[in-house]
């Protein structure tokens, strides 16, 4: 019986086809099994570069290109193009097997031959050194480069020549050369591709076996029903294809907590969702998928539903953000807590400061309580005097520490007397409840956006799952930390050393947007949550597009009018309003921009209002943009008065170290916002630009 495989490149094309053509593709391939079995439709292609290429008629004007098997019965759909274009495609392309990974590769072989001839001619005038002259042929071959690719590499003298080769060069082989050109050693490149490289020799003539190994780019569908489901969700490629490095993290068995890190768009959330499904499929117990906000939690829930569609594993997966779970545990024992508002908490600290006549601000005492007392479970003056205050910046003498502890004690006593709670005290009590129980509510916990959880949130999650293999799985990037939470996982009893995976390929953002955005955080020293410094050096994108548009204006009105015109331009180019986002630093700025769009008749919605639909342009604060992505994104009002926001930064005079951390957090916030863009990014300001933008203008 014939089996159909679908190449990832085709699904990307499928989304761009007219609806009538999509319907015809669906109709043809729904009957593919019986048609192939009877020998109908598939025709040999004259002058095809690969003799296994076949054409299949979609309509009188459209043709599909299918890779037929040498042996076996697996047919791979590669392309659907207009009649003449389809045959030209087959004449120029070839399919081969990577000798290191054993996976299938599709290349524009004619373009590669043309460039080889061009580079060979230019080499006569090259006086400088060649790009890869320091790498031996056997190292290149070990990393999967074939003879033609090695000949090509030997003729490269500039990085720009390598960049230009990306559209026609085999993807994995290009990534190898990219890593070497970026300064990685062959061993580092090998490690980067480690999940892909096979142990034994590869039969490069066995295309059938290669297709079955190529889950990162080829989907084997089990019958017409599954194929129709794929065509119904062509944008949800993440639920179908996993890069081998992602697959390794998803499928592994770990002896304890593990984590996956990587820059923006590298698929950490994708891995987290697939990991949750894999753990649920084992049937060992309930799986919790959690994060730090309700917005992100809702997004994760939607992802699980899509990923597990048609499966019963959803009954074993619980998706909710960490504070909601803590409140549920608290409520089951004590009933609903009476919460103190942020404003009332600040008033309480103020009254204590006035009563004790001490020289501290409400903000300082609140953070000292959260970052030191709660983070380290300090319960007495003696413990506080001995507690580490790493990262707090302001030095305190013994007398000052005694004053701080007295203020903290007064604050906690006031909460008890009034029967009030903060989210922190709810989490603390919920943690105690779980720690005292032998039975834990979950067997596995998967955490997304791990960098933004506080120490007491981690302690709560640690108490919610037994210490065992595959207990905790973390996904995050400390370069995207947008809240004031700095933790040492090791000190919290969450040991991930030796069980960390790093992802480096960005699947969301174009190389141009990624490169520009990385400039925002260049040179920053950022911790990795495990007492070391983190780096996203080597993070790359294989997708190319327009460079970010960066522009300043004299007044706010002129800037906002420009943003509205840009949004209208995107819509007129065929971008749906729901695929467009506008990120700003404050809700007030967002409301003003929404008014300008509304006057121009552009539908829009506030990301913070769950009652709004998602048919219009999404406008939200940079915090609300976390975890989202848009085909086109405008970052507005990126002024020196907005980013960094004065109210979010501790004055240098009060605490120099806290000031530096606050500025870094604001920088990361802008970085996060800009990396929500998939295809086009526009960054604007009025007056003076943010100091974070100045080096990039």
Tell me the pLDDT tens digit for each residue of 69-86. 887 778 888 888 999 999
The per-residue pLDDT for 190 is 75
Please write the tens of the pLDDT for every residue from 490-514: 777 788 888 888 887 777 788 888 8
Least confident of 230-239, 277-286, 574-583: 230-239
First to last CA, the chain: 60
Is the pLDDT at 625 greater than 80? The verdict is yes
The per-residue pLDDT for 590 is 92
User: What is the reported pTM?
Assistant: 0.70
Contact 597, 630 (CB under 8 A): no
Please write the tens of the pLDDT for every residue from 400-424: 889 999 999 999 999 999 999 999 9
Is the pLDDT at 666 greater than 80? The verdict is yes
Q: Calculate the alpha carbon distances from 603 to 517, 567, 577, 619 in Å.
A: 28, 11, 7, 11
Q: What are phi and psi of 182, to 5 degrees?
A: -80, -5
Is the pLDDT at 313 greater than 80? The verdict is yes
Q: What's the average model confidence in pLDDT over 435-443?
A: 93
The per-residue pLDDT for 485 is 66
Please write the tens of the pLDDT for every residue from 336-385: 999 988 889 999 999 999 999 998 888 889 888 988 888 888 888 888 88
The per-residue pLDDT for 550 is 94
Report the alpha-carbon distance of residue 657 to residue 691 in Å, rounded.
19
**Averaged confidence pLDDT in the chain:** 84
Instruction: Count the Cβ atoms, other than its own, within 10 Å of residue 357.
Output: 7
DSSP class of residue 369? I
Least confident of 219-233, 313-327, 516-530: 219-233
The per-residue pLDDT for 596 is 94
The per-residue pLDDT for 135 is 87
Name, in order, each residue with C-beta under 8 angstroms of 173's C-beta and a sequence gap of 6 or more: 98, 105, 144, 145, 146, 149
Q: What's the average model confidence in pLDDT over 249-262?
A: 89
- What DSSP line would sit under 624-682, residue for residue? TTTT--EEEEEE---BTTTSS-GGGS--TTT-HHHHHHHHHHHHHHHHHHHTTEEEEEE
The per-residue pLDDT for 306 is 77
The per-residue pLDDT for 521 is 80
Please write the tens of the pLDDT for every residue from 562-585: 999 999 999 998 888 989 999 999
| SS3 assignment, position 443 | coil
The per-residue pLDDT for 37 is 45
| SS3 assignment, position 569 | helix
């Amino acid at each position: 019986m014939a089996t159909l495989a679908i190449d990832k490149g085709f699904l990307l094309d499928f989304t761009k086809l007219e609806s009538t053509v999509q319907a015809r593709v669906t109709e043809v391939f729904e009957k593919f099994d019986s048609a192939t079995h009877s020998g109908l439709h598939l025709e040999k292609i004259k002058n095809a570069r690969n003799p296994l290429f076949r054409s299949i008629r979609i309509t009188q004007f459209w043709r599909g290109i299918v890779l037929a098997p040498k042996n076996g019965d697996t047919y791979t759909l590669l392309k659907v193009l207009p009649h003449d274009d389809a045959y030209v495609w087959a004449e120029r392309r070839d399919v081969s097997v990577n000798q290191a990974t054993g996976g299938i590769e599709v290349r524009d072989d004619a373009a590669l031959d043309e460039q080889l001839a061009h580079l060979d001619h230019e080499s006569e005038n090259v006086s400088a050194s060649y790009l890869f002259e320091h790498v031996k042929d056997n190292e290149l071959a070990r990393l999967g480069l074939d003879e033609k690719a090695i000949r090509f590499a030997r003729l490269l003298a500039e990085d720009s020549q390598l960049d230009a080769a990306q559209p026609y060069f085999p993807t994995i082989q290009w990534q190898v050369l990219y890593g070497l050109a970026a300064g990685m050693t062959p061993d580092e490149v090998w490690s980067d591709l480690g999940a892909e490289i096979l142990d034994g020799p590869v039969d490069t003539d066995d295309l059938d076996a290669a297709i079955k190994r190529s889950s990162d780019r080829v989907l084997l569908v089990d019958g017409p029903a599954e194929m129709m489901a794929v065509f119904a969700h062509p944008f949800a490629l993440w639920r179908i294809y996993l890069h081998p490095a992602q697959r390794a993290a998803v499928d592994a068995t770990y002896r304890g907590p593990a984590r996956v890190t990587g820059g923006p768009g590298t698929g950490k959330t994708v891995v987290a969702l697939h990991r949750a499904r894999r753990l649920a499929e084992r049937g060992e117990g309930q799986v919790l998928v959690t994060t730090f906000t309700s917005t992100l939690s809702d997004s994760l829930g939607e992802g699980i539903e899509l990923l597990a569609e048609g499966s019963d594993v959803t009954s074993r997966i619980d998706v909710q953000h960490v504070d909601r779970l803590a409140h549920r545990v608290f409520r089951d024992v004590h009933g609903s807590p009476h919460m103190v508002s942020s404003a009332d908490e600040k008033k309480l600290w103020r009254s204590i400061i006035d009563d004790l006549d001490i020289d501290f601000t409400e903000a300082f005492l609140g953070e000292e309580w959260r970052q030191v007392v709660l983070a380290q479970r300090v319960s007495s003056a003696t413990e506080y005097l001995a507690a580490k205050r790493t990262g707090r910046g302001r030095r305190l003498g013994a007398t000052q520490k005694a004053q701080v502890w007295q203020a903290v004690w007064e604050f906690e006593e006031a909460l008890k007397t009034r029967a009030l709670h903060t989210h922190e005290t709810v989490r603390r009590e919920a943690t105690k409840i779980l720690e005292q129980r032998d039975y834990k509510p979950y067997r596995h916990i998967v955490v997304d956006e791990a960098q933004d959880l506080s120490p007491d949130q981690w302690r709560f999650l640690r108490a919610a799952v037994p210490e065992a293999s595959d207990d905790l799985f973390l996904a995050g990037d400390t370069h995207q930390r947008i809240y004031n939470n700095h933790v040492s996982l090791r000190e919290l009893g969450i040991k991930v050393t030796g069980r960390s995976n790093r992802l480096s390929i960005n699947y969301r953002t174009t190389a141009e947007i990624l490169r520009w955005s990385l400039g925002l955080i260049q040179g920053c020293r950022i911790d990795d949550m495990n007492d070391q410094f983190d780096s996203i050096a080597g993070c790359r994108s294989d997708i190319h597009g327009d460079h970010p548009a960066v522009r300043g204006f004299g007044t706010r009105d002129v800037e906002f009018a420009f943003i509205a015109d840009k949004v209208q331009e995107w819509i007129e180019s065929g971008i749906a309003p729901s695929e467009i986002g506008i990120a700003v630093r404050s809700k007030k700025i967002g409301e003003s921009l929404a008014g300008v769009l509304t006057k121009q008749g552009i539908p829009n919605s506030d990301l913070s209002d769950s009652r709004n639909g998602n048919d219009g342009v999404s406008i939200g604060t940079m915090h609300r943009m976390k975890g989202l992505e848009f085909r086109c994104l405008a970052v507005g009002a990126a002024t020196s008065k907005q980013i960094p926001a004065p109210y979010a930064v501790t004055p240098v005079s009060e605490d120099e170290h806290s000031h530096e951390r606050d500025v870094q957090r604001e920088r990361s916030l802008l970085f996060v916002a800009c990396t929500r863009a998939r295809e086009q990014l526009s960054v604007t300001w009025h007056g003076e630009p943010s100091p974070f933008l100045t080096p990039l203008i």
